[in-house]
Structures are given as structure tokens and as C-alpha cells.
Chains A and B, each alone.
Chain A
Amino acid sequence: MKELSLLDENGKRSDGRGIDDLRPIKITVGVVKNADGSAYIEFGKNKIIVAVYGPREVHPKHMALPDRCVLRCRYHMSPFSTDTRKNPAPSRREVEISKVMRESLEPSLILSDYPRAVIDVFVEVIQADGGSRCAGINAASVALADAGINMRDLVSACAAGRIADKIVLDVNDLEDKEGDADMPVAYLPNLEQVTLLQVDGKLSTAQFGECLNKAIDGCKLVYEIQKDALMKKYFGNELEVKEEV
């Protein structure tokens, strides 16, 4: 019964996607005027605003590192972002997501270029769907690029998962709750490195490999959208001119 509702006989999922389809993604760069860098992402029903402040002076001062920059990350959900109201105080889940998000972004940045400083990344989920951490990472990496932070690569994130015996790309809210496994992955597309990997659910060894590869394929698709969003902000007019020619 459960499988039927998540995946019908034509291979269509609950929201009408095929097993290799991403949800619609839209990224806008530079949405928070006061921030040094910012981005807004719509990833399925996820709506997330990310603002980056820094590099700037560290408060409290004793947190500063002599040889590199401190990266701080805060993932937070607005009380109206979920079906039942979320208490605005940070939950244990948000604390964990903030941590893995920071760890997924850190390898992409050249933090040694900014010793004794801090970069703050604030991720605000104003509407949550499944996969908000991946969506948040995608927007955060674009916002860091918008802030002009020296980086080796963008970070692109996407989840894959298992529904019944099928491995599917980009697990949505319902599939996350009812499905059998969920694997969020963040990836540096040019350096070919994985910077976030979590699994929630059961996967055989073969399924694990398939799932990881599928998630990385998803990351590569997301990467193109991230690049387009940045190009649009910084080279928007030139692109239009080229198209006319």
C-alpha cells in the first residue's frame, strides 16, 4: 500500500516526477540588501533565504584563530515554515544541521586568506519541504560567492533515497517521512569531493553505491543552476547581448 502511493505503476512519484527528476529549482542572488552576500532559493516547496556577513572581526575575540578565518553557520526555521508551528527556539535538529552545513561548506573556502576574522552564514528556512539542508547548502555556497569569499569550488548538494526497491533522486517531504532511506550529499563538482554525507534508513551495499552516484548526478545538475544564478547577477547584461548576436 505504502509503495503504491509513493511510486505508481508507471514509475511516477507522488508529486508526478520520474525517479531521476529534480524538483523545480530557482536561485536568486543578492536578495538581502544589508548583507555582504546573499541568495534566495526555491527548491520544490522549500523557500530559503541565506545571508553572509564577513569576513569581519570576531566577537567574542577569544574565538579568533591566528592562522585562518572562523566560519560560523546558523540554520534556522521560521515558526510558520512547517505544517504545525515550530517553536522559534533552536532545536537539537537545527543545531546538528548547522554543524554539518558548516562542515560541508568549509572545504570549499580558502579560509587561510582571512586570519583572525569570521564569516557568518545565516540560513533562514521560511518554508520547509524535504531536503531543506541540501537546499540551504546550495544557497549558502552561492551567497558566499556573492560575498566575494575566496573559494576553490562551489558546493552543490542534493539528496537521493530509496522508495521500495527503487533509488530515486531528490527526496521530497512525503518520501522522506514514508520512504525507506534518505541520503543527503554535498559535493564539490570540480574537485570531485564529497563534503556532506548522511544516511537515514536501510540500504544494501549495492543500493548505497547507486544512491551515492545518483545523488552526485543531482549535485551536478544543481551546480549548473547555481552558476546560472551567479552569471545572471554579475554578467546579466552581457549574456543578453550575446544572445542577441
Chain B
Amino acid sequence: MSSSKRSTIIVEQLRKQQMLEALSRGKRLDGRNYESYRDLKVEIGIIDKASGSAKVTLGNTEVIAGVKVETGEPFEGLENKGALIMSAEVLPTASPHVEPGPPDEDAIELSRVVDRGIRESEMLDLDKLVLIPGKIVYTVFVDCSIINSDGNLLDATSYAVVSALLTSKFPIFEIQDDKVVDTGKTMPPPITTVPVSITAVKIGEAVLLDPTTEEEACMDARITMTTQSDGSIVAVQKGFTGPFTVDQIISYSEIARIKGEEIRSKIKELN
């Protein structure tokens, strides 16, 4: 069941007017240009018990991603591929508006959109993660915990997942006498490309990249586009109730490609 709702963050009317007034002068409330991202920081290897991990801070938004590698049965219909399973949880630490419990529709959308970018870009070459075709494959879990939420969870989570995967060391499993054995050795994961998502919100006629919670509370519509290393688009998600015109979407795809390249080199550099 999903019902239309008021934004969970109530922005005071005065603040909203301030925002619209600033936007009419081409400025945002935190002083950024429409197309600039907040400060992006990536810390890797913070969880020793994970095969790979990363903490991403994007302004005040803070996300931790951890990679766990196990073995298991392949998914039905994908007998010759490793299994990739992603989850994201908005922890109740993240803001006064989050309540503990099963994920709500926003949290589910978040993990599915991030998953889509990674899966569709085939960032991980799952063909290389098979032990016995049809029977035993590598199972890669990527779990994300949102620690503090100040808007644009989609991009922050996506960058955390990408950074954790890029820097992970997968255990090498072998089959001995029909049994899976952990050799104790590790290998770099089979990476093929680096997907990067770029999210914007539309407020009136202004299109703002990397929105804060306050901006998301005032948005008419949201759009997320994920591009891979060669610039092609691998995933798109439009969110919220407002519309986009075709022209807006086309011009946005160009922004997503250019900005994506910028962030991609930043992520590679930080890793």
C-alpha cells in the first residue's frame, strides 16, 4: 500500500520563501551553484570484518557500505552467474523522522535504485563468480547503513557501494571433494566499469544537483541518472509527483554524463 503524503520534513513557509527568493537570483540557500555538489569524502576499509567497506560523507549525509562474500545457490534463471544482493537501511540514527522497523517505500526505492545502477552496468562480472555452474556460486552482499541523512541519499549510497566494491578483496573459494573450501587467499573483485549516479531535484524551473533535505522537502520532482565509465546510461529513476518535459530530460542526461565523469574521477582518486 502506498499513499500520497506530505513531505515528512516540514519546512517553514518562511524558509521556503527564502529558498525560492534565492533561486530566483540563481543561488541556493547554502550558497552553492545549481550544479555543484557538496564536499564528497570517502574513507575506505573502516570495517575489518568486511571484505570491503567505505564511509561516504556528502555534506552532512553519511553512509557506510560493507561487502560480505559467501557462497550459495545461484538465482533461478541465472545459473551461471554469481549472486549480488544489495540492501540499504536508513538507520533511526539518521534523522528525527526515521522510526525503527521494516523499511518504508522510500528506503526500498533507495536500495533498488542503487542496486539497479550496479547491476545493470555489470560493474561486477558475475560470470567470473561461479564455482559449480548451476549449483554453487559466490554470493556478494552489499549492505548500506545510512547514519545521518541530509538529502541525496541515492547518490551518497551509490558512491559508498561503488567505493566499497572497488577496494574490496574477495575471498577465494575452491571446490574440494564436492565441498566449498575457503583457501584463505583473496583476489580483487572482477570489476568492469564504474557506475556513477547523479541526482537532481526540480523546484519551480530550477534544477538543482545534489539536493539537501530542505531542498528535497520543497521539490516538485526528482530525477536520478546513472552512467557507466563509457558515458552510457544504465539506470534512471524519476521520483515524486511533478513532471519533466522531454527537453528537460534530454538536457539533464547530458549534465548527468558530464557531472558523472567528474565524480567518477574523484571516486577513483579517493580510492
Contact = CB atoms under 8 A, between A and B. Distances in A.
Given A34-B149, A47-B47, A80-B50, A122 B91 contact: yes
Listed residue (A35, A38, A59, A80) with the most chain B CB atoms within 10 angstroms of its CB: A80
A33 interface: yes
Interface residues of B, number: 30
Contacts of A32: 62, 93-94, 147-148
A83 B182 CA distance: 13
A207 interface: no
A100 to B, nearest CB: 18
By size class, the interface of chain A is: 20 to 34
Contacts, number: 86
B95 interface: yes
* Listed residue (B48, B87, B143) with the most chain A CB atoms within 10 angstroms of its CB: B143
Given A80-B47, A80-B53, A126 B92 contact: no
A24 interface: no
A51 interface: yes
Interface in A110-133: 120, 122, 124, 126-128
Contact of A34 (B68, B87, B96, B145): B96
B104 interface: no
A127 B145 contact: no
B150 A34 contact: yes
B193 interface: no
B184 interface: no
Question: Which of B94, B99, B145, B150 counts the most chain A CB atoms within 10 A?
Answer: B145
Nearest to A52: B93
B141 A79 contact: yes
Contact of A120 (B49, B68, B92): B92
Contacts of A51: 92-93
Interface string B59-79: 010101011101000000000
B31 interface: no
Contacts of B99: 59
Given A34-B95, A88-B89, A120-B92, A127 B149 contact: no
Interface string A49-65: 11101001001000000
A13 B96 CA distance: 43
A50 B48 CA distance: 20
With a 10 A CB-CB cut-off, give which of A38, A74, A83 has the most chain B CB atoms.
A74
A33 B148 contact: yes
A78 to B, nearest CB: 5
B100 A34 contact: no
Contact of A122 (B50, B70, B100, B150): B100
A45 B46 CA distance: 11
Nearest to B64: A126
Contacts of A59: 99
A35 B49 contact: no
Contacts of A56: 96
A34 B147 CA distance: 10
6 contacts: A33-B150, A35-B148, A45-B48, A51-B92, A82-B49, A127-B49
Question: Which A-B residue pairs are the 3 nearest by beta carbons?
Answer: A80-B66, A51-B93, A79-B143
Interface of B: 46-50, 53, 60, 62, 64, 66-68, 70, 87, 89, 91-96, 99-100, 141, 143, 145, 147-150
